[in-house]
Amino acid sequence: MNKIVFGVDVGGTTVKLGVFTADGTVIEKWEIPTRTEESGSHILPDVAESILRKIDEMGYDKENIIGVGIGTPGPVQPNGVVRRAVNLGWGYMNLVEILENLVGLPVKAGNDANVAALGEMWKGGGQGFSDIVAVTLGTGVGGGVIVQGKLVAGATGSGGEIGHINVEENEEEACGCGCKGCLEQYSSATGVVRLARKRLAMDDKPSMLREGELSARSIWDAVKAGDEVAIEVAERFGHYLGKCLAGVAAVVNPEAIVVGGGMSKAGEIMFEYIKPAYQRFSFHATKDVQFKLAQLGNDAGIYGAAKLVIGDK
Amino acid sequence: MNKIVFGVDVGGTTVKLGVFTADGTVIEKWEIPTRTEESGSHILPDVAESILRKIDEMGYDKENIIGVGIGTPGPVQPNGVVRRAVNLGWGYMNLVEILENLVGLPVKAGNDANVAALGEMWKGGGQGFSDIVAVTLGTGVGGGVIVQGKLVAGATGSGGEIGHINVEENEEEACGCGCKGCLEQYSSATGVVRLARKRLAMDDKPSMLREGELSARSIWDAVKAGDEVAIEVAERFGHYLGKCLAGVAAVVNPEAIVVGGGMSKAGEIMFEYIKPAYQRFSFHATKDVQFKLAQLGNDAGIYGAAKLVIGDK
C-alpha cells in the first residue's frame, strides 16, 4: 500500500483539503466551510473530523499515512505556535499539538503564503529549483522564501513577509499594518487600484479606466490594450515590486522568483514592468534570476502543506 | 585523541589560520601572507602547505582531523565554485576541489562575510541564537544570513549581500558596484565619511569634524562628544541602516542582528541611531529582534570557517 499525506489550507471562508501520494499526485481534494464563530474553536475539530472520515472511506490504516500539513493565515512559529490569527478568530495556541491530538498523526504547520510557496516549488512554477522567492499578489502581498528546499519560517513565523518592506519613504497613507510605504500599498491588487485612482484624479487624460468598475483586472486589460494611463500605473507597480525583489534577492540570492496570487492571472506582461526595476536595482550576482508564473492557483496551499509534512523524504 | 578542525580566512594581504577543537576552543592561530601575484595561484598551495606543516608539528593523523573550512572574498557557490575574486586575482575555479586535493581532507568554503557571520553565531555576539543576520560595517557593508543554524549562501554565492540593497533612489553618486543608492554608500566606514564631507560642505556650522582627519572613528568620537554635525551624520547612517535591516528582517525574520566590522568599535551608541528607523519601518512580528555587537573581531572568519566544516556535528 502506497503511503498518503494530507494537505490542508485554512482560509477565512473555506478550508481546502487534499490527499496526495508521497510523490505529489493528488488523489482527491475537497472543501469544508471555515467556522470562525466562537473564536474559531470549531476549525481544527472540523478539519480533524473531515480527515478521519476520509481515512475511513479510503480504508487506510494510520501506519500508511505520513501525516497532515496545514497552512493558516498569519505568523506560525516553527514549533506550531500561533499568537493570533485575526481572520479566524484564533488567539494564542499551539496549532500542531492540538491537531496532532485530534487526528493522532504527525502534523506540521506553516503560514499560508509560505506553504503556498513550498507548493509552487514542489509542483508548480518553481519546479526544478531549490532556492526560490515566491510572491503572492492578492488583496495583499504575501511571500515565501525557500532556501535549499526548506521554508524560511523565521523566528516568530514571519519569514517572507515581503509585502511589508518599505519601498517609499514619502507615502502619506497608511498600510493595513500601520506603517507607511509598504510594498503592499503599490503592488497588491488593491494597491494598483489605489494607484490608478490617484493617477486618474491628477488630470483629465482620457483612459479606459474612467469607464466601468476599476479593478486589478480592468487595469491589466487596459495595459494590454495600450491605455497610457494604465501603463503609467503598471510602471509604478513594477518599479516598486522590482526594486523590492532586487533587495530580497540580495538577502537570499534565489534561483527563481515565482509570482502568483489573483493578480498574476494578468500573465507574463507583468514581468515587462517588474524586470526593468529589478535589473536597475539588483546586485550583479543576482541579475540572472528567472521570473516564473505560479501554476497551482488556489491549490498551491494544499500541495505545499502536504510537502511540509513529507519534508525531504 | 580529540578531533581538530582548521579554519582559514583569506584576505587581500594576509591569510588567517586557526586550529580548533570540535567544540570551538582555539588551540593556535597564525597568519601567512596572501600572495596575489600570478593570478593568485600560490594562495591555496600556501594555505595547504601551512596546514600540512601544522598537522605534522602537532603529531596528528588525518583520521583525527574533521576538515578545513575556508572563507574568501566575493561570491562562493555552495559547491565551492568561485567565478572571480578580484582582490585575490582569481578567475573561475572550484576552490573546494583544489584545496581538497592539496590537503587530502574534507573542505567547505564560503564567502568571507557569510563565514564571519557563522563564527559570530557560534562563539561571538550571536551565541545562543540559530537565526541571525550579521552586518559587517567596514570599508564596505558585508552581511551574512543564518537560518536554523545554517548559512544562506544563495544560488550564486551572494546570500547576505545587504550592502547592495537600494535604500535611496535619489542618490547621484555611484557605489563601487555601479548602482546608485546602495546601503554601503551611507552606512560603511567610507559611507559615513562621505556623508560627513557632504554635510560639512553644506554650510559653515562649527564642528569638531572640521579639524584633523575625517574618519569613521573621528565621526563617532564627535557623536559621543555631542557634536551636532556629527550627530546629523549618525542619524543618516542609522536611518538607512535601520530601514534596510527592517526590510531584511521581513524576509528572514531573525532572532538577532549582530553588528560587526571595524566601525562597530564605536560600540552600543550606534544602536541609538539604528533602532529608531528599524522600529519605524519594521513589520510588527519582527520588532522584537535583539541588536548585538559582534565579539570576535578579526577572528570571526576563522571561527566561522571551522564551524562551516563541523556543520551540525
Cβ contact A195:A211 at 8 Å: no
The answer to whether residues A30 and A17 touch, using CB atoms and an 8 Å cutoff, is yes
Contact with chain B for residue A312, Cβ under 8 A: no
Res A297 pLDDT > 60 = yes
pLDDT for position A78: 83
Chain A residue numbers with beta carbons less than 8 Å from the beta carbon of B288 are 156
In this complex, the residue of A145, A178, A284 whose CB is nearest that of residue B252 is: A145
With bands split at pLDDT 50, 70 and 90, how would you rate the model's confidence at A85? confident
Residue A14 has pLDDT above 70, yes or no: yes
Cα A70 from chain centroid (whole Å): 14
How close B168 gets to chain A, by Cα (Å)? 9
How far is B173 from chain A, CA to nearest CA, in Å? 14
pLDDT tier at B48 (50, 70, 90 boundaries)?
very high
CA distance, residue B29 to nearest chain A CA (Å): 31
Confidence class for position A87, pLDDT limits 50, 70, 90 = confident
- Mean model confidence pLDDT for chain B: 95
Cβ–Cβ under 8 Å, residues A296 and A20: no
Q: State the span(s) of chain A assigned CATH 3.30.420.40.
A: 4-120+299-310, 128-294
Q: Which amino acid is at B177?
A: C
Q: Quote the CA–CA distance of A110 and A75 in Å, as a whole number.
A: 8
Segment 91-120 of chain A within 8 Å of chain B by CB: none
Give the per-residue pLDDT at B222.
98
Write down the pLDDT at residue B78. Answer: 82
Calculate mean pLDDT across residues B228-242: 98
pLDDT at A120 over 80: yes
Buried b (16+ CB within 10 A) or exposed e, A14-46: ebbbbbbeeebeeeeeeebebebeeebebbbeb
Beta carbons of B253 and A161 less than 8 Å apart: yes
Does B246 sit within 8 Å of A158, measured CB to CB? Answer: no
Reported confidence tier of residue A313, pLDDT bands at 50, 70, 90: low
CA nearest neighbour of B294 among B68, B143, B76 = B143
Dig out the grid coordinates for A301 from the structure: 496551499
B chain contacts of residue A247, beta-carbon cutoff 8 Å:
165-166, 244, 247
Tens of pLDDT along A205-244? 999 999 999 999 999 999 999 999 999 999 999 999 999 9
At the topology level, CATH places domain B4-120+299-310 in Nucleotidyltransferase; domain 5 (3.30.420)
Give the closest-approach CA distance of B63 to chain A in angstroms: 30
How many CB pairs (< 8 A) connect A and B? 133
- ipTM associated with this complex: 0.93
Mean pLDDT, range B127-140, rounded to an integer: 95
CA distance B166 to chain A (A): 6
CATH fold, domain A128-294, is Nucleotidyltransferase; domain 5 (3.30.420)
Verify whether the Cβ–Cβ distance A157 to B285 is below 8 Å.
yes
CA nearest neighbour of B184 among B262, B114, B237, B118: B237
Write out the DSSP string of chain B. Answer: ---EEEEEEE-SSEEEEEEEETTS-EEEEEEEE---HHHHTTHHHHHHHHHHHHHHHHT--GGGEEEEEEEESS---TTSEES-BGGGTB-SEEHHHHHHHHHSS-EEEEEHHHHHHHHHHHHSTTTT-SSEEEEEESSSEEEEEEETTEE---TTS-TT-GGGSB--TT--SPPTTS-SSBTHHHHSHHHHHHHHHHHHHH-----GGGSS---HHHHHHHHHTT-HHHHHHHHHHHHHHHHHHHHHHHHH--SEEEEESGGGGG-THHHHHHHHHHHHHS-GGGTTPEEEE--SGGGHHHHHHHHHHHTT-
* CATH 3.30.420.40 domain span(s) along chain B: 4-120+299-310, 128-295
Q: B128-295: which CATH architecture? A: 2-Layer Sandwich (3.30)
Angle between helical axes of B300-310 and B112-123 (0-180°, round to 10): 80
Which of A92, A165, A251, A282 best tests the B interface by mutation, with the highest count of B CBs <10 A? A251
Element (H, E) at A238: helix A228-252
Mean pLDDT to the nearest integer, B90-116: 96
Percent of chain A with pLDDT over 70: 99
> Which pLDDT belongs to residue B12?
87
**Which three cell numbers, joined as nine digits, stand for A44?**
481544527
Average pLDDT over residues B183-194: 97
Cα gap A44→A95, rounded to integer Å: 8
Counting residues of chain B whose pLDDT is more than 90, the rounded percentage is 90
Residue A160 pLDDT class (50, 70, 90 cuts): very high
Q: Are A310 and A2 in contact (CB under 8 A)?
A: no
Which residues of chain B neighbour A179 with C-beta distances below 8 Å?
A: 280-281, 283
Degrees (nearest 5) of the Cα angle B89, B90, B92? Answer: 150
User: What's the pLDDT band for B313 if we cut at 50, 70, 90?
Assistant: low
B251: nearest CB among A156, A160, A243: A160
Whether residue A86 has pLDDT greater than 90: no
